[in-house]
Structure 1
Amino acid sequence: MVHVARGGEGPVLVLLHGLGATGSVWRGAADSWPGAWVAVDLPGHGRSAPLDRYSFGSLAAAVASAAPSGPVAVLGHSLGGVVALALASGWFGVDVRAVGAVGVKLRWTPEELAKAAALAGKPARVFGTRDEAEAWASRLAGVPVDDGVVEVDGGWRAALDPAAFGVGAPDVAGLLAVAKAAAALSAGELDPMCPPEHLRAARADGLVLPGVGHNAHVEQPEALGPVLDRLHGLLVR
């Protein structure tokens, strides 16, 4: 089961968060969208159930099961950006007319992949208090998150399923090649995970968002204005 939050009326924007976060991180940006929005908790995050196996395809299929019918724009951050691009392939039955990806890590070293795989194999840390678990959940996400912890035997833990770390490196070039919707790639000017030179090498028309880092949608939601404008224009044209 995938948890979604909804708001607004009009052209629909589906919002997909990054690894460790929840749909709550989109509140500021959602307010700037001139239409309806749907913010998803990805599987293994927040209030959504975990998966037996994590891949970009399995995440996209789970999101597709909860996506609205009819044409939509999809905007994802980091991991969510890759899932958004997967949905734009048309393979999952969602009518994606425009897709945006913010802060997707485009280059991975063997060491980074090995570290992610190691994290995926570790059990979730259990804390004695909710406050401790919430602090850990926010550290994992890189931003403060709501609905990011669950109560378990012995205390509290981050809602994030550690196995999600094992999703691997995305084939962004391949996903862009098969996308059936116009795509807008972007990243913060100060994003260490997707620096401007990586973004522009992958996509010459990539949007560099001034003055923000990896979590632009949380740091300065208004910085996403050019991305939202482009997606809205593509969706309603």
Structure 2
Amino acid sequence: MLHVERGGNGPLLVLLHGLGATGEVWQDVVAAWPGRWIAPDLPGHGRSGRLERYTFGALAAAVAEEIPNEPATVVGHSLGGVVGLALASGWFGVEVTTAVGVGIKVQWSDEELAKAAALAGKPAKVFETKDEAVERASKMAGVPLRHGVSEVDGGWAPALDMRAFGVGRPDMAGLIMASQAHVVLAAGENDPMSPQEQLRELVPEPVVFPGAGHNVHVESPSSVTALLAQLAT
């Protein structure tokens, strides 16, 4: 079902990418992680299979099947952050000790939800060349991708299942309340999708990465690894 990259030895780190991306976006973070790590392509993304219906629970259940039965720190970006919080509930049989959500969009207007639902109903655009599809996939993800496309009838298309845009609004307060893990919310100082004042409504002291935008794990991976080192002490 899922394509999963793995490596290292020692304490387990699970890395969950955001909507449209793939596990490859964590490559510079895992390079500095001293323990064991896994980085899946979420269902409907990259080299992984698709779901009949996309919900945070369905995504978490699929990821849970790939996580060993041992304590884990989970770091998720945007959509992956919500999936990480769902895993931290314990409902999926995963023992999460710390759940870090980076750049999660915690407030959604009706207009934003309607726009996302409209995108979920659109077919993937097909391009003549792989390079064109890679450019489109990278634009949708907001980060450079190599594994975000697939060959289809008529050419190449982003691998992202457009129906994943319809995952909906996360119940952040409910997920945090249900968490059996230590919860950390973090965002780049200049992240328009995850403003600090909105995060403070959910946790007393969100982590702010100075000078970073929405994709801090790609822009400044050392900021993420420094946070993980701090949490481990």
> How many angstroms apart in 1 are the aligned matches of 2:101 and 2:201?
15
Superimposed CA distance per residue, residues 150-191 of structure 1 (whole angstroms, 9 cap, x where no aligned partner): 000000000000000000010111000010011111000000
Please report the TM-score for the alignment, with normalisation by the length of structure 1. 0.96
One-letter code of the match for 1:171?
Answer: D
The alignment status of 1:36 with 2:36, answered yes or no, reads yes
Superimposed CA distance per residue, residues 108-157 of structure 1 (whole angstroms, 9 cap, x where no aligned partner): 11110000000000111000000000000000100001210000000000
> How many angstroms apart in 1 are the aligned matches of 2:197 and 2:11?
33
* Cα pair 1:137 1:149 within 8 Å, conserved: yes
Query: How many aligned residue pairs are there?
Result: 233
> By how many angstroms is 1:230 displaced?
4.2
Matched with 1:108 is: 108
* Cα pair 1:100 1:227 within 8 Å, conserved: no
> How many angstroms apart in 2 are the aligned matches of 1:225 and 1:33?
7
The alignment status of 1:159 with 2:155, answered yes or no, reads no
> How many angstroms apart in 2 are the aligned matches of 1:110 and 1:13?
35
* Cα pair 1:41 1:48 within 8 Å, conserved: yes
* Cα pair 1:186 1:227 within 8 Å, conserved: no
> By how many angstroms is 1:231 displaced?
4.2
One-letter code of the match for 1:146?
Answer: R
* Cα pair 1:28 1:221 within 8 Å, conserved: yes
Matched with 2:67 is: 67
The alignment status of 1:126 with 2:126, answered yes or no, reads yes
Matched with 1:225 is: 225
Please report the TM-score for the alignment, with normalisation by the length of structure 2. 0.98
One-letter code of the match for 1:147?
Answer: H
One-letter code of the match for 1:129?
Answer: T
The alignment status of 1:175 with 2:165, answered yes or no, reads no
One-letter code of the match for 2:211?
Answer: G
Q: Secondary structure at the match of 2:106?
A: coil
> How many angstroms apart in 2 are the aligned matches of 1:47 and 1:182?
31
> How many angstroms apart in 1 are the aligned matches of 2:106 and 2:128?
37
* Cα pair 1:90 1:180 within 8 Å, conserved: yes
Q: What stretches of structure 2 of length at least 5 have no aligned partner?
A: none
Q: Secondary structure at the match of 2:37?
A: strand
Superimposed CA distance per residue, residues 45-91 of structure 1 (whole angstroms, 9 cap, x where no aligned partner): 01100100000000000000111221111100000000000000000
> By how many angstroms is 1:203 displaced?
1.2
> By how many angstroms is 1:201 displaced?
2.2
Matched with 2:3 is: 3
Matched with 1:139 is: 139
Cα RMSD of the aligned pairs, angstroms, is 0.9
* Cα pair 1:73 1:231 within 8 Å, conserved: no
The alignment status of 1:210 with 2:210, answered yes or no, reads yes
> How many angstroms apart in 1 are the aligned matches of 2:230 and 2:113?
33
> By how many angstroms is 1:32 displaced?
2.2
* Cα pair 1:19 1:78 within 8 Å, conserved: yes
> How many angstroms apart in 2 are the aligned matches of 1:169 and 1:226?
30
Matched with 1:196 is: 196
One-letter code of the match for 1:142?
Answer: G
One-letter code of the match for 1:113?
Answer: L
